[in-house]
Every structure is written in structure tokens, then in C-alpha cells.
Chain A
Amino acid sequence: MSIEIRNIKKEFGNFTALDNVNLDVPNGELVALLGPSGCGKTTLLRIIAGLESPDHGSIHFHGEEATDRDVRERQVGFVFQHYALFRHMTVFENVAFGLRVRPKKTRPTEAEIHRRVHQLLELVQLDWLADRYPPQLSGGQRQRIALARALAVEPKVLLLDEPFGALDAKVRKDLRRWLRRLHDELHITSVFVTHDQEEALEVADRIVVMNHGRIEQIGSPQEVYDNPASPFVYKFLGNVNQFNSRVNEGQAHIGDISLSLNQHHSIQNSNALAYVRPHDIEVFTEPNGEQTLQAIVSYIHAAGPSVRLELQPVNESDTIEAEISRERFRELALNQGAHVYLKPRRVQVFLETGTTTPS
């Protein structure tokens, strides 16, 4: 079932949680609402579920207006941040709850309930825990039971609030891959909220980046990572170096070097911010005759798949971070305090007015 969100506004007292939000979630997609805490992403999720009502705007499910539809009739599954499992019921009863509370006419028989609950517990690979109580489970197990419970009512939309937020790093990684596979199997329209960009980039079909109650950018993981629409998205998705620069007739000037852009040809001497990802910085030990920034290696982080360098530019005060492969690092034979020459491979410039251009 597709979801259309139109001009949603929501205020809590003086705080604007959502400011004119528009969003389409196509049928069967897995969409991530990504943003820092307080950006309105959880409020948006709760409005889709019907747990909050918007001050203004409308929600449509499958083209039908559903803004005032009762939560119970929305056919959504909701997985809460802290799972909200019923602590006095067994795992089995937790999953069966949504079926048991149905009116007599539509309630499945006891045998049917048994069959479906065990089917769901098998789906989340926890059939052997049916008789346990929630306090006896680990965080990852609770998470999967919460998911099974949400799926028991055969929702048309699955909503997950920070689904992996309370888990430790290892379990989180396993679970999000598992969620992705599960989604590929079930093809149920899903929206999940997260503040973890890595999680959103890995799991989602599409990412909705939010900040201060507004949507900053919507796009596939690759789109938002490679072509961020605003400085905020640039900074929020991964590490980035920020340079003060000047744009003049299609040329960006950072310190002594200038790079040609394929936009801003008519701009005369405007201040701008330039962004370069750490892995888009080339490091040389010789000037090479090219236009480069001179810097001194101030710290080397060699643990991990690639080597991260903290660099102190000669003419600027802010440190620069560069990421190079281990092979390249060996080739260069760098030491702390070594003089290096930097060349941005790929730069994106935002004029002070806020327009954007990839080079």
C-alpha cells in the first residue's frame, strides 16, 4: 500500500515538530526517515500510524484519505523503539494478541491462531522461545518478537521507530541485514526511523533526510551520499571536510588552488562553502606540478580497512581528514609530521545563497 503525505504540520506548544512535510512512499518500498534527534522523524512516523494527529495536512493510504481514520483501522504494524512487548504475557501470547482481540466474527480459530503464531515465530527464527516472558529475552530477541507481533495482524504498512537503536553494534549489524532480507521476502511497504546514517544507507531503498521539521532531501542511498542537496545533508551523511572558498565565473578557489565547476559560470566573486569527502582527497609526497594544498600529517589512524590521516594545512587553521587505502599508505611511507600535498578529487560547492553544484 502506498502512502502519500501532504503538507503535514505539527506543533507541540511553541516547538514546530513538522513544517509542511510532503512525502510519497511507493508500494513495497523500504524507506528510511533519517535525521538528528528532534528533527520530527518519529512524529512523522507516529502521524502515519495514527498515534498523533497532524495540526494541518492530510495522509492518504493507497490514494484514499486516511487522516482521520482510527489507528485500529489503518492496518499498520508498528515496532516501538523499546519494543513495548507485553511484559506479563509469554512470547506466544504477545504475538497472538492482535488476533485474539479481534471481534468474534473475524477472529481466527484457536488452531489457526496457533498455526499463524508459530509460522511467524519461525519467520523470525525464535520458535523455541514461545513460552518465555519478555524480560527473559535479549535485546535482539525482543526486537524480533516485536516485529513478529506487528506482522501478525497482516499489516499493509510496517512502521519501525529506531528499530536497532537500543542494540549493541554487532547485533545491530546482523539484524539490519536480516530486516533487509525479510523485506525482500515480504515486500511490505515499510518506513523506519533512524539517526544512524550507516544504517539508513545500508538498509533502505530510499532515504528521507530530515532536519528541523523539514525534509532536506529524498533519494536513493547513492544519490543522497554522492549528491547531497544541502550542507546539512553533506555533514550528516558521513565525514566531510569543509573549506571556505570563493566562486568566480565557474571556478572555485580554495586557498591557493582553483577548481573548475560545471555551474556558476555567471557568478562573480561570491563566498561559498566547499565540501570534500575524506576519500576524495588525494595525498602526494611531492608537489607534482599540480595545484595542491600543502599540509603536515598530524595524526595517523591505521587501524581498520583504510588509513585515516589528520592533516594540518599550512595556510589554514581547520584540520583536514583524508582517507587512503592501506596500499597507498605503504607506498607513501608516511610518518607523523611529514609534509604532504593534497588534491581534492571531487568537490561540491554551496554558495552562501544556498544553491548547489557538483563539479
Chain B
Amino acid sequence: MSTTVSQLAHYNAKVARSRATSEPAWVRWSLIIIALLFLSLFLFIPLAAVFTEALRKGFETYIAALVEPDALSAIKLTLIAAAISLPLNLVFGVAAAWAIAKFEFKGKSILITLIDLPFAVSPVIAGLIYVLIFGLQGWFGEWLIDHDLKVIFAIPGIVLATIFVTFPFIARELIPLMQAQGKEEEEAGLVLGASGWQILWHITLPNIKWGLLYGVILTNARAMGEFGAVSVVSGHIRGMTNTMPLHVEILYNEYNYAAAFAVASLLAFLALVTLALKSYIEWQSAHSVIAAKPVDE
């Protein structure tokens, strides 16, 4: 008898609590509808448009637009730029986050501000900086010509611009994570006799791996999709210095809509894959039992 009463009381309390803390149905539903309308207008419809426009003239035209030499060269250049900037930013991001989160030093706040700089500066200006430094009339222009080196309107310039715009992502992802984890585990490793590298490999990196992977995926998405900074330094030479976003722009300006949307659909697809990976990583880092890794130097 007494249990039934207490169960009933519990049930009543539950109902009362949910009524006490929630809004009326019409408020909830109007908020949901507004959010859905907004998302459809600005996200779902454009995304669907990209794929329908790409396939408007049939699947063969779509494939043809992707395998023609200029498109292939643009895809290749985009992959090269990402393949170079990603590992460099990985090393830089981990090093910067490690320094900022685990050590006290002078000028720390200046370093944090510098890391945020690419977020604050317009990508076009980032591109212009490199033109001013390495361009024909730039500081190192004559020296580069004398040594037969090309930076602007060539691959090195595109890589530099890509690195510049993507370098905050990994560090920004890791700093709060590493600060929250503190440095006790590293100190424990130190007292147990581990060297700096052993601590990095066996203690620090395993603890941040999900955050690091997340940062890498964001960096990759941005590296492949960057337009402004790359546009300034590239020179738009077809088949030579065009990345995928630049190639889309050229095709579009030439009224070649089907081809433009075909290449754009690749970038959109990349974005969807990125989102899926991101959700998977978030789910993993929240739910998975942490995998063991034997320590063998």
C-alpha cells in the first residue's frame, strides 16, 4: 500500500514538474516552425538547388564536367593545398595549444591574440599581404625573380594563403580542452620518469585525440573551401593555379551553369561528409569507452 502511494506521489510530482517548467504548446510549436522555416530557406533549399542544378542536364554532363582536364587540375590543386597545410597546422596547433594550456610564460595573451588574427582579418587582406611581400613589386619580388622562384600566381602562394586562413582551427579547438584537463597527468608522468616526448605521445595526445580530430576536420573543410585569400594570390590560371572554389567561379562567369554546379556539388558533398564526421566524433568522444594503448616507448 505504502509503495503504491509513494509511486503515485512520485508520478504526480513528475507531471507537476514538467508542467511547471515548460511553455504552452502553441509557443513551443511556433518556435519549432520558425526555426524549420529559417533552416529550409537558408540551408536546405540552396543545398538541394546545388545538386538539382548540377544534374539538370543529365548524369553524363555532370561526369563530363568533373573529368575535364581543368576540373581535374583544380581538384588536384585543392587536394595539394589541403595536404600541405593540414600537417603543418596540425603540428603548429598542437604545439601552440600545449604551450598555452600547460605553461605560464610572458606574452601568452599576445600569442592567443595572434592565433585569432586570421579569424579577425578578411581573407582578401590575408591574400593581399602575401602579394605585397612576395609579389613582383613586393619586398622579396626581385630576389625571387633572380632565383627563379614563383610564389604569387603559383602553388606556394596558394598554400601560404590556405595555411594563414586555417591556422586557428586546431589550436582553438585544443586550448580549452587541454586547459580543462589540467597538467596533473603530465606531472605524474614526469615524476614517474617519462621524457618530454613520452609524455606527449603516451599522455597528452591520447587525451586530446577526439578534439584534435575534430580540429583537423574543420581545418580540412576550410582549406578546401577557401575562396577569398586564394583568389587574390592565385591569378586564376586555368589548369595551373585554380582551386575548386575558383574553378566554380570561372565556370559560372562563363554561363556554364551545369559544370559550375557539378564542381560545386563536390564541395557541398565534402561539407556533408564533414558534418557527418563531426557528429560521429562528438558522439564517439562522449560515449565510447576509451581505447587502451600499450606504452612501448
Chain A 233-270 interface 0/1 with B at a Cβ cutoff of 8 Å (1 = within) = 00000000000000000000000000000000000000
A95-115 residues with Cβ-Cβ distance < 8 A to B are: 96-98, 100-102, 104
Find out whether the CB atom of B290 lies under 8 angstroms from the CB atom of A153: no
Instruction: State how many residues of chain B have any CB contact under 8 Å with chain A.
Output: 25
- Measured between alpha carbons, how far is A269 from B35 in the docked complex, in Å? 82
**Which residue of the partner chain, among B187, B194, B206, B207, contacts A97 with CB atoms under 8 Å?**
B194
- Measured between alpha carbons, how far is A88 from B202 in the docked complex, in Å? 9
Does A330 lie at the interface of the complex (its beta carbon under 8 Å from any beta carbon of B)?
Answer: no
**Which residue of the partner chain, among B184, B207, B296, contacts A80 with CB atoms under 8 Å?**
B184
B176-215 residues with Cβ-Cβ distance < 8 A to A are: 184-185, 187-195, 198, 202-203, 206-207
Does B43 lie at the interface of the complex (its beta carbon under 8 Å from any beta carbon of A)?
Answer: no
**Which residue of the partner chain, among A76, A86, A102, A104, contacts B191 with CB atoms under 8 Å?**
A76
Contacts of B292 in A (CB 8 A): 88-90, 93, 133
Find out whether the CB atom of B184 lies under 8 angstroms from the CB atom of A98: no
Contacts of A137 in B (CB 8 A): none
| Shortest CB distance A291–B (Å) | 57
Contacts of B291 in A (CB 8 A): 88
- Measured between alpha carbons, how far is A100 from B187 in the docked complex, in Å? 17
**Which residue of the partner chain, among B187, B192, B206, B207, contacts A101 with CB atoms under 8 Å?**
B192
Chain A 54-74 interface 0/1 with B at a Cβ cutoff of 8 Å (1 = within) = 000000000000000001100
Find out whether the CB atom of A93 lies under 8 angstroms from the CB atom of B294: yes
Find out whether the CB atom of A88 lies under 8 angstroms from the CB atom of B190: no
A72-B193, A98-B192, A100-B297 known; A82-B290 Cβ under 8 A = no
**Which residue of the partner chain, among A77, A86, A101, A133, contacts B185 with CB atoms under 8 Å?**
A86
The 10 closest A-B pairs by CB, nearest first: A84-B184, A98-B192, A101-B194, A84-B188, A78-B191, A88-B206, A100-B295, A88-B290, A72-B193, A101-B198
Binding site for A on B (CB under 8 A): 184-185, 187-195, 198, 202-203, 206-207, 289-297
Can you spell out 27 A-B residue pairs with CB atoms less than 8 angstroms apart?
A49-B191, A51-B187, A72-B190, A80-B184, A80-B187, A80-B188, A84-B187, A86-B202, A88-B206, A89-B292, A89-B295, A97-B192, A97-B202, A97-B295, A98-B193, A98-B194, A100-B295, A101-B192, A101-B202, A102-B193, A104-B297, A133-B289, A133-B292, A135-B290, A150-B192, A152-B192, A153-B193
